[in-house]
Amino acid sequence: MPLATFIYMSAWGKSFHGKSFSKTILRVAILLSAVAISVTASAQQFVSANVANAMIEPAPAIKPPLPEAPRSHRFWDTQNTLLFVGVAAVNSADFAVTRQNLQSGGQELNPITRLFAGSTAGLAFNFAGETAGTMAIAYLFHRTGHHRLERMTSAVAISISTQAVIYSGTHR
């Protein structure tokens, strides 16, 4: 009987040749373990002593120079400033569209923002927090030397908020 049929029959609680379900699963597990062990054991190669000695050679006395460390930049450089202005602008647009939709009877789909959607001040606090959170995460990446992630954080925040504005604008 094929393995798939065997597992299918066992999964629905039917016995296979009078054996109980747990014994059947145990036997399948043992069989698969044996196959896995035999495959890995057959993949091993025995190396002769001469080849093994040739493989172990001392490192060269002259080490190649290390690559130059990436240069650090100031956190508030031009690129980050433009990215943060973009994050603030798109979050402001998201705030305006969300507020307009909620006032005309719409519903907030984001479960976290829904907690603050009861008032305009709460909604403004939420979107200001999103902007500040994006800057804080970018600063954390900057301090730990992950400069690509630092820039990517703002780019992802801009794209997510832009998608939310487009969605809100098309589903009024």
Identify whether residues 97 and 164 lie together within a single domain.
yes
| Residue 20 maps to a domain | yes
**Residue 134 to residue 153: CA distance in whole angstroms:** 7
What ranges in the chain are assigned the alpha helix state H?
Answer: 3-11, 21-42, 49-55, 78-103, 111-116, 120-143, 147-170
- Does residue 60 or residue 13 have the better pLDDT? 60
pLDDT on residue 88: 98
Q: How far is CA 13 from CA 5, 9, 32, 58, in A?
A: 13, 7, 20, 61
**Whole-prediction pTM value?**
0.59
Same domain, 87 and 39: no
Helix axes 120-143, 147-170, angle to 10 degrees: 160
- Residue 23 and residue 84 in one domain: no
Helix (H, G, I), strand (E, B) or coil at 19: strand
Q: Find tokens 């832009």 and name the residue.
A: 162
Residue 131 lies in a domain: yes
51 in any annotated domain: no
Asked whether residue 34 falls in the same domain as residue 86, the answer is: no
The total of structural domains in the chain comes to 2
Task: Indicate whether 86 and 157 sit together in one domain.
Answer: yes
In a shared domain, residues 105 and 29: no
Whether 58 is in a domain gets the answer no
Q: Which residue has the higher pLDDT, 161 or 56?
A: 161
What pLDDT shows up at residue 44? Answer: 54
Minimum mean pLDDT range among 7-11, 82-86, 99-103, 154-158 = 7-11
Do residue 88 and residue 158 come from a single domain?
A: yes
Domain membership flag for residue 66: no
Q: What is the mean pLDDT of the chain?
A: 80
Question: Of 88, 165, 167, 79, nearest to 130 (Cα)?
Answer: 88
Query: Which DSSP symbol is given to 117?
Result: T
Q: Which domain holds residue 37?
A: 3-43
Residues 147, 73: contact at Cβ < 8 Å?
A: yes
Least confident of 63-77, 135-149, 154-168: 63-77
